[in-house]
Protein backbone atom coordinates (compact mmCIF):
# COMPACT_ATOMS: atom_id res chain seq x y z
CA UNK A 1 0.00 0.00 0.00
CA UNK A 2 1.65 3.20 -1.02
CA UNK A 3 1.36 6.14 1.30
CA UNK A 4 0.31 8.63 -1.37
CA UNK A 5 -2.82 6.73 -2.26
CA UNK A 6 -3.77 5.97 1.27
CA UNK A 7 -6.51 8.18 2.57
CA UNK A 8 -5.24 10.11 5.56
CA UNK A 9 -7.01 9.02 8.74
CA UNK A 10 -5.47 10.95 11.59
CA UNK A 11 -4.95 9.47 15.02
CA UNK A 12 -5.75 11.99 17.67
CA UNK A 13 -5.22 11.56 21.38
CA UNK A 14 -7.22 13.62 23.85
CA UNK A 15 -6.21 13.64 27.50
CA UNK A 16 -9.30 14.60 29.49
CA UNK A 17 -9.47 15.22 33.20
CA UNK A 18 -11.88 13.06 35.13
CA UNK A 19 -13.83 15.85 36.77
CA UNK A 20 -14.59 18.33 34.01
CA UNK A 21 -13.58 17.48 30.48
CA UNK A 22 -14.36 13.77 30.58
CA UNK A 23 -17.77 14.64 31.97
CA UNK A 24 -18.03 17.24 29.22
CA UNK A 25 -17.40 14.50 26.67
CA UNK A 26 -20.11 12.44 28.34
CA UNK A 27 -22.51 15.32 28.09
CA UNK A 28 -21.64 15.78 24.44
CA UNK A 29 -22.49 12.11 23.93
CA UNK A 30 -25.75 12.13 25.86
CA UNK A 31 -26.76 15.33 24.09
CA UNK A 32 -26.16 13.53 20.78
CA UNK A 33 -23.57 16.07 19.67
CA UNK A 34 -21.06 14.64 17.25
CA UNK A 35 -17.32 14.72 17.06
CA UNK A 36 -15.03 12.70 14.80
CA UNK A 37 -14.17 9.12 15.67
CA UNK A 38 -10.49 9.94 15.06
CA UNK A 39 -10.30 11.23 18.61
CA UNK A 40 -9.29 8.70 21.25
CA UNK A 41 -9.91 9.90 24.76
CA UNK A 42 -7.62 8.97 27.62
CA UNK A 43 -9.02 9.80 31.00
CA UNK A 44 -6.62 11.22 33.56
CA UNK A 45 -7.38 12.17 37.17
CA UNK A 46 -6.38 15.77 36.55
CA UNK A 47 -4.80 17.70 33.70
CA UNK A 48 -1.82 18.02 36.02
CA UNK A 49 -1.31 14.26 35.69
CA UNK A 50 -0.27 14.74 32.08
CA UNK A 51 3.46 14.34 32.00
CA UNK A 52 5.22 15.93 29.00
CA UNK A 53 6.42 12.42 28.25
CA UNK A 54 2.77 11.34 27.66
CA UNK A 55 2.51 13.86 24.85
CA UNK A 56 5.78 12.77 23.25
CA UNK A 57 4.92 9.11 23.67
CA UNK A 58 1.62 9.64 21.89
CA UNK A 59 3.45 11.21 18.97
CA UNK A 60 6.04 8.45 19.02
CA UNK A 61 3.44 5.73 18.73
CA UNK A 62 1.82 7.39 15.79
CA UNK A 63 -0.51 10.18 16.95
CA UNK A 64 -0.94 13.06 14.53
CA UNK A 65 -2.29 15.45 17.11
CA UNK A 66 -2.54 15.59 20.89
CA UNK A 67 -5.03 17.70 22.81
CA UNK A 68 -5.29 18.11 26.54
CA UNK A 69 -8.51 19.18 28.24
CA UNK A 70 -9.01 20.14 31.85
CA UNK A 71 -11.20 22.17 34.18
CA UNK A 72 -11.22 25.91 33.65
CA UNK A 73 -8.43 27.68 35.55
CA UNK A 74 -9.71 28.28 39.04
CA UNK A 75 -12.18 25.39 38.88
CA UNK A 76 -9.74 22.48 39.29
CA UNK A 77 -11.15 19.69 41.44
CA UNK A 78 -7.82 19.71 43.27
CA UNK A 79 -7.77 23.54 43.37
CA UNK A 80 -4.52 24.19 41.55
CA UNK A 81 -3.62 21.22 39.35
CA UNK A 82 -4.47 22.86 36.07
CA UNK A 83 -2.40 25.95 36.90
CA UNK A 84 0.74 23.79 36.97
CA UNK A 85 -0.40 21.90 33.91
CA UNK A 86 -0.86 25.18 32.08
CA UNK A 87 2.73 26.27 32.66
CA UNK A 88 4.09 22.88 31.72
CA UNK A 89 2.17 22.60 28.51
CA UNK A 90 3.02 26.15 27.51
CA UNK A 91 6.72 25.39 27.85
CA UNK A 92 6.48 22.01 26.17
CA UNK A 93 4.49 23.32 23.20
CA UNK A 94 6.94 26.15 22.85
CA UNK A 95 9.79 23.64 22.76
CA UNK A 96 8.06 21.53 20.13
CA UNK A 97 7.53 24.63 18.05
CA UNK A 98 11.21 25.49 18.55
CA UNK A 99 12.45 22.17 17.19
CA UNK A 100 10.24 22.53 14.14
CA UNK A 101 7.09 20.56 14.95
CA UNK A 102 4.04 22.32 13.53
CA UNK A 103 2.41 24.02 16.52
CA UNK A 104 -1.16 23.18 15.47
CA UNK A 105 -0.55 19.56 16.44
CA UNK A 106 -0.83 20.29 20.13
CA UNK A 107 -3.57 22.15 21.93
CA UNK A 108 -4.96 22.77 25.40
CA UNK A 109 -8.63 23.59 25.97
CA UNK A 110 -10.50 24.08 29.21
CA UNK A 111 -13.83 22.28 29.07
CA UNK A 112 -16.20 22.06 32.03
CA UNK A 113 -18.69 19.27 32.75
CA UNK A 114 -21.48 21.54 31.53
CA UNK A 115 -19.81 22.32 28.21
CA UNK A 116 -20.80 19.43 25.97
CA UNK A 117 -21.19 21.81 23.08
CA UNK A 118 -17.73 23.25 23.61
CA UNK A 119 -16.25 19.78 23.78
CA UNK A 120 -17.79 18.78 20.49
CA UNK A 121 -16.80 22.06 18.80
CA UNK A 122 -13.26 21.86 20.14
CA UNK A 123 -12.76 18.34 18.86
CA UNK A 124 -14.26 19.19 15.49
CA UNK A 125 -12.00 22.16 15.01
CA UNK A 126 -8.91 20.31 16.25
CA UNK A 127 -9.51 17.36 13.96
CA UNK A 128 -10.02 19.73 11.07
CA UNK A 129 -6.70 21.38 11.88
CA UNK A 130 -4.92 18.01 11.91
CA UNK A 131 -6.46 17.12 8.57
CA UNK A 132 -5.04 20.33 7.16
CA UNK A 133 -1.59 19.61 8.63
CA UNK A 134 -1.52 16.04 7.39
CA UNK A 135 0.44 13.15 8.78
CA UNK A 136 2.89 13.73 11.61
CA UNK A 137 6.27 12.86 10.19
CA UNK A 138 8.56 14.85 12.43
CA UNK A 139 7.93 13.24 15.80
CA UNK A 140 7.05 9.65 15.07
CA UNK A 141 9.17 6.60 15.57
CA UNK A 142 9.96 4.92 12.27
CA UNK A 143 9.47 1.51 13.83
CA UNK A 144 5.80 2.35 14.45
CA UNK A 145 5.14 3.15 10.80
CA UNK A 146 3.82 0.41 8.61
Partner 1 sequence: MYKIAKENLSALFRLIAETRELYLPVRTAGQTNYAAWSEDAEVDIDTLKTVKSAKDAFFPQSEGLYTVKKEGKKISVEPEALKEQDFVVFGMKACDVKGLEVLDKVFLSEPVDTFYAARRDHGTVVAMACHEPEETCFCKVFGVDAANPASDVTVWTVGEDLYWKALTEKGEALTEAVKGLLTSADDAAVEAEKETIHKILENLPYMNLSLEGWNGDALSEKFDSPIWEELYKSCLACGTCTFVCPTCQCYDIKDYSAGDKVSRYRCWDSCMYSDFTMMAHGNNRTSQMQRFRQRFMHKLVYYPANNDGMYSCVGCGRCVEKCPQALNIVKVIKAFQNQGGEK
Partner 2 sequence: MQELVNRAKELLADGTVARVLGWKAGDLPYNPEPAYFEKAEELVDFVYNGFCGANLSKYMIEASKLEGKTMVCLKPCDTYSFNQLIKEHRVDRDKAYIVGVGCKGKLDIEKIRKQGIKGIELIQGAELTDEADTLKIQTIYGDKTCAYADAMLERCHVCKGKEHMVYDELIGDSNETKDADRFDEVAKLETMSPEEKFAFFQKELSKCIRCNACRNVCPACSCRKCVFDSTKFDSSQKANVDSFEEKMFHIIRAFHVAGRCTDCGECSRVCPQGIPLHLFNRKFIKDIDELYGEYQAGADITSKAPLTNYTFEDAEPSIVGKRG
Summarize as ranges the residues that interact with partner 1 (CB under 8 A): 61-62, 141, 143-144
In the region spanning residues 72 to 131, those forming contacts with partner 2, defined by CB under 8 A, are 73-74, 80, 83-84, 86-104, 106-108
For partner 2, the closer of residues 17 and 108 by Cβ is: 108
CB 27 within 8 A of CB 116: yes
Least distance (Å) from partner 1 to the CB of residue 61? 7
Least distance (Å) from partner 1 to the CB of residue 138? 18
Least distance (Å) from partner 2 to the CB of residue 145? 10
Q: Which residues pair with 8 in a beta bridge?
A: none
32: left (phi over 0), alpha (psi -120 to 50) or beta: left
CA distances from 20 to 13, 77, 78, 125, 127 (A): 17, 8, 12, 20, 21
14 binds, among partner 2, partner 1, none (CB under 5 to 8 A by kind): none
Asked if 141 interacts with partner 2 (CB under 8 A), we say yes
User: Residue 83: helix, strand or coil by DSSP?
Assistant: helix
For partner 2, the closer of residues 7 and 100 by Cβ is: 100
Burial per residue of 59-83, b for 16 or more beta-carbon CB atoms within 10 angstroms, e otherwise: beebbbbbbbbbbeeeebeeeebbe
Positions that interact with partner 2 (CB under 8 A):
52-53, 56, 60, 73-74, 80, 83-84, 86-104, 106-108, 138-143
Amino acid sequence: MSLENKEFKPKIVAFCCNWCSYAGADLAGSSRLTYPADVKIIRVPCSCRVNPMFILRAFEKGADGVIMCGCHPGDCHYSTGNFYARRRMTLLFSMLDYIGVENGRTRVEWVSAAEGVKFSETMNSFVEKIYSLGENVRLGDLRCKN
